[in-house]
Chains A and B, each alone.
Chain A
Amino acid sequence: MSGEPAGPVLEVTGLDVHYGLRRRRRQALHDVSLSIAPGETIGIIGETGSGKSTLARAALGLVRASSGSIVIDGEEVGAYGHRQWRALRRRGVIQYVFQDPLRSLDPDVTIETSLAEPLLIQGVSRQEAATRVRAFLDRVRLSEDLLDRLPGELSGGQRQRVAVARALVTEPRLVILDEPVSALDSANRVQILQILKELRADGVALVFISHDLGSVAGVADRIAVLYQGELVEIDAAADVIRRPQHPYTRLLVRSAPTLHSAAADRAERETLRALLRALLHA
């Protein structure tokens, strides 16, 4: 990206994450390294259980890494305790948009309260929070009369925009979005992607997590592919899509529904699946 040289917003080096205890211990991430520059948009693609959500949760301090380092905005956070994490989070540098907008908004709390919450936690006064929330609505194309409604009274697209707005209201430098458009239909999908594109123009770094290469292809600068807990490919979006290297990436490209899928793709997918199976057993 353009601009003066600045350190990465997020830098992950040699990250290992394990789940479970003793005999049920399972490795979720293996030696993952990734760096995100300010204002960059990166897509992290992987299937269920590939470790893509674990990567995000580790960067947010919700999951503890077994080894490796995580540097957020110049701070090494690997050894941070509860208190230090809380202090870091209150600065609002890094935010997260959950996969399921319905469940990520408190059903008993009005939209306005939900939106103001991150500001109130930071210690912003109620009045100022209200003004800042209102000033923000335009950017996510929400009208003011939604503010006193409850999440259950909103459409899926509106809820997702509220979830995005809540993550953005503290003006973070990095936003991680978990499957932000998977549950939406075309019109809402386009709207969310449009909003995110504008954000990128404002210099916010974005991490898109998705199982579908197609849903992030249009907005990501770079694409990283996670497979079985390992980062198997990372490159500029156009290169990953046009010249995929790893067989799993190839399968991803061939599997993404496109308007002009050729019948020949079917046979190729079959070959790639067989190849991946062979790799797995090797």
Chain B
Amino acid sequence: MATLSEKVLTEAERNNRAGAEETGTTEPVRPAAAPSTPVLSVRDVRISDQAAGQEIVHGVSFTLTPGKAVGIVGESGSGKTLTCRATLGILPAHFEVTGGSIEIDGQEISGLSSAQWTALRGATISAVFQDPASYLNPSIRVGAQIAEVLKVKKGLKRREAHRQAIELLHAVRLRDPELVYTQYTYELSGGMLQRVLIAAAIAADPRILIADEATTALDVTVQAEILDLLADLRERTGLALVLVSHDLAVVAQLCDEVLVMRQGEVVEQGPTHEVLHHPQHEYTRLLIAEHEQYGLDKFLATDAIDATEAAGAVAAGDKVEESA
């Protein structure tokens, strides 16, 4: 097993990075590693169901540089989740990558051992999913679960892990981090749990975060909060994002590039602005029409809320306060 030396090596690298983090030199470190080098490159990936002998995903390609965000839109069963799972190395049983290549931070993942995967996940690539409650242990305080990630992934001592976990809870803009640290999953709302999960996901300073329908089950206002948080993290730390959703608008709000998937095929791909304004494929047009005919865009596209009205928000709030 040649993995031992490799493990030590990656460990050392990670410690260096963690050290850099603490001294507050994060910002220069990442862009210094040439911003154009992709942290994730997916090239013509094909995924097959070996049991049925069927190809489910017929070639997906995209590259992700630090601070960039790619969105994948599609209906359920379009293969968007399988693509994400393939990049995380967690495809369900009897599904396999049968073509193309995936490189994470310059490392081809097809030959990785499970120890190498463990080192990679959390530290380089991380993910959050739709149902946050099922990814947390209900009988352990949520803070301790984040601290555990820090202890395992960054090798921190108990007290330091506790301190950094609270910092993370603060970073995901939970209002009372000390209180949340001591709470259990049932005491937190869906939006708060998703924040906790994001905190755990970014605990080991990953370079890529995959958010697979992470806001689908949440209220619209909470969804916006989470999306704002992701945008914020991306700007502050140069985190690269893969955002998966069935709603084109969710993806459009945050991403530079959009992939539209249908039945395992990428039917449209390009810069968000291009896709929104010059959709080529009929399915993309349907996604846009849905918003323009039935969504808020029906009202806003013709007569957008202007800035003067927006500025009046606070005044209106005062009025309500008086009447209440």
Task: Decide whether A and B are members of one complex.
Answer: yes
Measuring CB to CB, which residues of chain A are less than 8 angstroms from any residue of chain B? Answer: 47-48, 156, 185-187, 189-190, 193, 211-215, 217-219, 232, 237-238, 241-243, 245-247, 250-261, 264, 266, 268-273, 275, 279, 282
**Among residues 88 to 136 in chain B, which have CB atoms less than 8 Å away from a CB atom of chain A?**
none
Interface centre among B222, B247, B294 (most CB of A within 10 A): B294
Chain A CB within 10 A, most for which of B220, B289, B319: B220
- CA A212 to CA B247, docked complex, whole Å: 13
Interface string of B288-324 (1 = CB under 8 A from A): 1111111111111101110101100110110111001
Whether B220 contacts A256 by the Cβ 8 Å rule is: yes
- B interface, how many residues as a size bin? 35 or more
Q: Which of A186, A238, A255, A268 contacts B290 (CB 8 A)?
A: A186
> What residues of B have a CB within 8 angstroms of the CB of A219 in the complex?
294
B223 at the interface (CB under 8 A from A): yes
The answer to the question of B165 belonging to the interface, with a C-beta cut-off of 8 Å to chain A, is: no
Asked if residues A48 and B219 are in contact (CB atoms below 8 Å), the reply is: yes
Q: Are A247 and B317 in contact (CB under 8 A)?
A: yes
For B152, list chain A residues within 8 Å (CB): none
> Interface centre among B223, B299, B319, by most A CB within 10 Å?
B299
Q: A257-B250, A257-B253, A259-B276 are in contact. Are A218 and B316 (CB under 8 A)?
A: no
Enumerate chain B residues within 8 angstroms of A264, measured Cβ to Cβ: 307, 310
What is the bound-complex CA distance between A243 and B309, given in angstroms?
8
Q: Which residues of B contact A238 (CB under 8 A)?
A: 299
Q: Does B208 contact A (CB under 8 A)?
A: no
Q: Give how many A-B residue pairs fall within 8 Å (CB-CB).
A: 143
Does B76 lie at the interface of the complex (its beta carbon under 8 Å from any beta carbon of A)? Answer: yes
Smallest CB separation, A240 vs chain B (Å): 9
- Residue B190 interfacial (CB < 8 Å): yes
Q: Inside 8 A of A245's CB, which chain B residues have their CB?
A: 316, 319-320
Q: Which residues of B contact A215 (CB under 8 A)?
A: 294-295
Query: A247 CA to B315 CA in the complex, in Å?
Result: 10
What's the least CB distance linking B144 to chain A, in Å? 27
Asked if A232 and B320 make an inter-chain contact with CB atoms under 8 angstroms apart, the answer reads yes
Q: Given the known A-B contacts A185-B75, A256-B220, are A261 and B295 also in contact in the complex, defined by CB atoms under 8 Å?
A: no
